[in-house]
Amino acid sequence: MKMDVSESIRIAQLMCSRLCHDIISPVGAVNAAVELLEDEGSSGAIDPQVLGLLDRSASETSNRLAFFRAAFGIGGGPSDEVPCAMLEKLSQDAFGRGKIALQWQADGTEVLSNAAGQLLLMLVLTSTEALPRGGNVTVRIQQMDDGLGIACVAEGPGASLKETIASVLVGSGGLEQLSARDITAYYAHLLAQSVGATFETSSDEGAIMLAVLLPV
């Protein structure tokens, strides 16, 4: 796929907007906690709850940044390997707390190529966002005869996948219909296309499935 300059700029703008949006909330909470510490410090007493808020918010910011760096940054060439244990930890730290539970089924696979690892993280991100009221996300990695299969099954009340995201993942949607919220799916499609991988999506009441097949 050949892009013109305006499309490349649009993708960069949407990606920046999306990633900044996702870290503004925890960073804002850190700032709020620091302000409370400053107010309480002048009285000589610091509320442990404020310290807890600062710790949680700082951890959430760090975990999200680590996840985004691995999912969208350059951590090596497409054929370089990344441990599945590291991918699981990144996913658990960023999303496997609170109202979403992450389960991991790696089928004995210990490492993935860098491209496969990034696609897995993008499936995790998209799956968690399909659970507005929380639920369970099961990550499955399986070596198949025709390639490597990676799937995420998200189950929970109100689980749904936006039509724009589903269409973009499988290559039937265009950039012009996307918002900053949807641009990560477009990026995932471009990465999959670059390594010859294909996406599949399906949905049922209370559950969605996202899968990608990377050829041998």
Q: How far apart are CA 71 and CA 172, in angstroms?
A: 23
**Each residue of 51-68: pLDDT tens digit?**
787 888 888 889 999 999
Q: What is the pLDDT of residues 66-100, one digit of tens each?
A: 999 999 987 665 558 999 999 999 999 999 878 99
Q: How many CB atoms lie under 10 A from the CB of residue 3?
A: 12
On the question of pLDDT at 112 being above 60, the answer is: yes
Domains along the sequence of the chain with CATH: 5-215 (3.30.565.10)
Are the C-beta atoms of residues 69 and 75 closer than 8 Å to each other? Answer: yes
Structure tokens at 152: 């995420």
